[in-house]
Amino acid sequence: MTPSALSTRIWTFLLLAFLPAGLASAQRSQSTLVWVSRAGVEQPLAAPPHVYREPRLSPDGRTIAIVTLEDGLQIWLFDLGRETLSRITFRGNNAVPTWAPDGKHLAFWSDIDGPVNIFWQLADGTGGAESLRSSAYFDAPFSFSPDGQLLAFAEVNPTTPGGIWVLRMRDRTAQPFLQTSATLDAPRFSPDGRWLAYVSNESGRREVYVQPYPGPGGRRQISTEGGTEPVWDPNGQELFYRDGDKMMGVKIITQPTFSAGKPTVLFEGYLLSRQASPNYDVSADGQRFLMLKANGVLTVK
């Protein structure tokens, strides 16, 4: 694949990932942040409306990292206690914020050096972005292991539809975890670090799977009628995903052997991700969901 074709593929990926379905590229719908209970009861947050994507709760639950689309793709932090919104990225395009377990660092993809690669920086805004991986392909981080030593990421590679890799933070080396002829994305470590949830279209449609990390062992299909945007309950006993705009929950048992229950619809509605990265997050007790609610206002850029 030529550099021009690869660039086209990457930016097509970006448009699919971040623009709402059914809207021209120049129009983006504003949304607001809301808490939603498992029963679908909604509670708005004080964050002002923006063209938001990818809310991520910090490990202590006090801060939300979130992407806005009004000035390219940029990452902001919303302090839940002080109800303040502050921007932490300023150059290039930056998205898919991923908290490190220490709550002090945020990993994300960025094009500040040209190719879209993985960076991280201190969440308090001090210092600059540090490169974690340099690659000719599109790499997007999704999940740290519980001890912060590993970072699971997805790669768009012109030689394969997709792959899931794991970056060792100690020496910044990366090893492939899963590479098939299918498109793979959204890898998320389980809270105990022993499993990786991910999305694959190997069946002909996108479904959520779980596979032991680092292995051995085969995959287990979790969704049954299509699934995207997997997020673990922080207690590790449930896995959530989206089936269309339905929020689904699946009970998970890992000891003495792995088993998954029947998917259950918790509630419906709220903004979907256009590609891989979840457009929601889950509270520490697994009882509330941080969702994006479209407010119908279009921002023209």
Work out the average pLDDT over 121-144: 90
- 73 vs 273 pLDDT, higher one: 73
Asked whether the predicted pLDDT for residue 46 surpasses 70, the reply is yes
- 136 vs 286 pLDDT, higher one: 286
Residue 254 falls within a domain, yes or no?
Answer: yes
Asked whether the predicted pLDDT for residue 66 surpasses 80, the reply is yes
Instruction: Determine the pLDDT at residue 295.
Output: 85
Cβ atoms 109, 121 nearer than 8 A = no
Residue 247 corresponds to which tokens in the numbers above? Answer: 């929020």
- With helix as H, strand as E and coil as C, how does the chain read? CCHHHHHHHHHHHHHHHHCCCCCCCCEEEEEEEEEEECCCCEEECCCCCECEEEEEECCCCCEEEEEECECECEEEEEECCCCEEEECCCCCCEEEEEECCCCCEEEEEECCCCCCEEEEEECCCCCCCEEEECCCCEEEEEEECCCCCEEEEEEEECCEEEEEEEEECCCCEEEEEEECCCCEEEEEECCCCCEEEEEECCCCCCEEEEEECCCCCCCEECCCCCCEEEEECCCCCEEEEEECCEEEEEEEECCCCCEECCCEEEEECCCCCCCCCCCCEECCCCCEEEEEEEEEEEEEC
Asked whether the predicted pLDDT for residue 164 surpasses 80, the reply is yes
Q: What is the mean pLDDT of the chain?
A: 88
Residue 300 falls within a domain, yes or no?
Answer: no
Asked whether the predicted pLDDT for residue 27 surpasses 60, the reply is no
Asked whether the predicted pLDDT for residue 171 surpasses 90, the reply is yes
How many percent of the chain have pLDDT more than 90? 73
Work out the average pLDDT over 241-261: 94
Confidence of residue 157 (pLDDT cuts 50, 70, 90): confident
Q: What is the CATH number of the domain that holds 170?
A: 2.120.10.30
Instruction: Kindly report, residue by residue over 90-125, the tens digit of the pLDDT.
Output: 999 999 999 999 999 999 999 998 888 999 999 988
- How many domains does the chain fold into? 1
Asked whether the predicted pLDDT for residue 243 surpasses 60, the reply is yes
Asked whether the predicted pLDDT for residue 25 surpasses 80, the reply is no
- 116 vs 132 pLDDT, higher one: 132
Asked whether the predicted pLDDT for residue 22 surpasses 90, the reply is no
Instruction: Determine the pLDDT at residue 297.
Output: 58
| Boundaries of domain holding 259 | 3-21+28-295
Instruction: Determine the pLDDT at residue 298.
Output: 53
Instruction: Determine the pLDDT at residue 301.
Output: 47
Instruction: Determine the pLDDT at residue 21.
Output: 40
Instruction: Determine the pLDDT at residue 131.
Output: 94
Neighbours of 16 (CB within 10 A): 13
Residue 195 falls within a domain, yes or no?
Answer: yes
Confidence of residue 275 (pLDDT cuts 50, 70, 90): low
Q: At 69, which amino acid appears?
A: L
d(CA 167, CA 95) in angstroms, rounded, equals: 18
Work out the average pLDDT over 149-177: 89
Instruction: Determine the pLDDT at residue 113.
Output: 82
Residue 301 falls within a domain, yes or no?
Answer: no
Confidence of residue 204 (pLDDT cuts 50, 70, 90): very high
From the list 127, 128, 175, 129, the residue with the least C-alpha distance to 150 is 175
Residue 291 falls within a domain, yes or no?
Answer: yes
Cβ atoms 106, 87 nearer than 8 A = no
Work out the average pLDDT over 42-57: 96
Residue 232 falls within a domain, yes or no?
Answer: yes
d(CA 143, CA 129) in angstroms, rounded, equals: 18
The per-residue b/e assignment along 138-150, b for 16 or more CB within 10 angstroms, e otherwise, is: bbbbbbbbeeeeb
Instruction: Determine the pLDDT at residue 273.
Output: 85
Euclidean distance between the first and final Cα of the chain, in Å?
A: 32
Work out the average pLDDT over 118-136: 90
